[in-house]
Each structure stands twice: as structure tokens, then as C-alpha cells.
Amino acid sequence: MTDAGNDDKQQRNRVIAQNEAERQTTGDIRVSGWAIVFAIIVGVIAVAIVWAWLNR
């Protein structure tokens, strides 16, 4: 009976670990998306400042 309980617990832990890995991947993609958007906005601001400086 103890072996069956350990097997169930190990299977449950594997499922939990797999779910956590999927959540981590989703969170990493979300953070990467925000980083890309932030970099684009900073780049546009930098280009606008340089363009305005050169055309004054």
C-alpha cells in the first residue's frame, strides 16, 4: 500500500512540475514581449530626439 501511495505522489509531483514549467515558459514569453515593446518605444524616442536635433 505504501508503494502505491508513493507512486501516486510521484506521479502527482511530475504533473505539478510539468504545469509549473509551462507557467514559467508563459511568463518568460510575456516578459520578453514587454521588453521588446519597451525597447521599440525607447528606440522611437531616441530617433525622434536625434531627428529633431539634426533638423533644428
Backbone angles phi and psi of 55, in degrees to 5? -110, 30
The position carrying cell 514569453 is: 29
pLDDT interval class at 55 (50, 70, 90): very high
The pLDDT assigned to 29 comes to 82
The pLDDT assigned to 41 comes to 98
For residue range 7-43, what is the model confidence (pLDDT) as tens digits? 889 999 999 988 898 888 888 888 888 999 999 999 9
Q: Which three cell numbers stand for residue 23?
A: 507557467
Where helices occur in the chain by DSSP H, the ranges are: 2-54
Q: In whole angstroms, what is the distance from residue 47 CA to residue 24 CA? A: 34
The pLDDT assigned to 4 comes to 73
Who has greater pLDDT, 1 or 20?
20
